[in-house]
Amino acid sequence: MRLKPMVASIGVAASLAVSSPALADGKATGRITRLSYDPAAVYILTDATKTDNPTCSVSTNQFAVPLTNTTAIAFLLTARANGTVVVIGGTGACTTVAGIENFNWVGY
């Protein structure tokens, strides 16, 4: 009998996730041209223009990585050093640094 409420809860959660309005989350495919740092974040500058740049972002080719995300920073440094073409995705929000989209993921 406990299974029914759990299934109903999962169904409600799934339908809410599908029906919620999504933020535009930027994505860029290209090379990292510059990484810079200040006490707020590490900034990624790419040679590609983002698709779906969120309205909060004033830059069409930059993302901000929180300093606590050391794994991503190491991955990005390696990609920059090797000149690797990467795909970088943002969160659609600009809360790490005002005016720059938050970094979310990266892949080769």
80 closest CA partner among 51, 41, 49, 108? 108
What is the end-to-end Cα distance of the chain in Å, rounded? 47
Q: Is residue 6 part of a domain?
A: no
Domain around 64: 23-107
Q: CATH number of the domain at 48, please.
A: 2.40.50
pLDDT of residue 23: 58
- Is the per-residue pLDDT at 22 higher than 90? no
In the predicted model, what is the mean pLDDT of the chain?
84
Span 33-46, average pLDDT: 96
Q: Is residue 63 part of a domain?
A: yes
Span 90-106, average pLDDT: 97
Q: Is residue 87 part of a domain?
A: yes
The CA-based angle 56-24-60, given to 5 degrees, is 55
Q: Is residue 37 part of a domain?
A: yes
Q: Is residue 12 part of a domain?
A: no
- Is the per-residue pLDDT at 61 higher than 70? yes
- Scanning the structure block, which residue is given the tokens 């069409």? 60
**Total domains in the fold of the chain:** 1
In a 3-state reduction of DSSP, which class is residue 7?
Answer: helix
Question: Half-sphere exposure of 64 toward its Cβ, with a 13 Å CA cutoff?
Answer: 20
- Is the per-residue pLDDT at 73 higher than 70? yes
% pLDDT > 90, the chain: 77
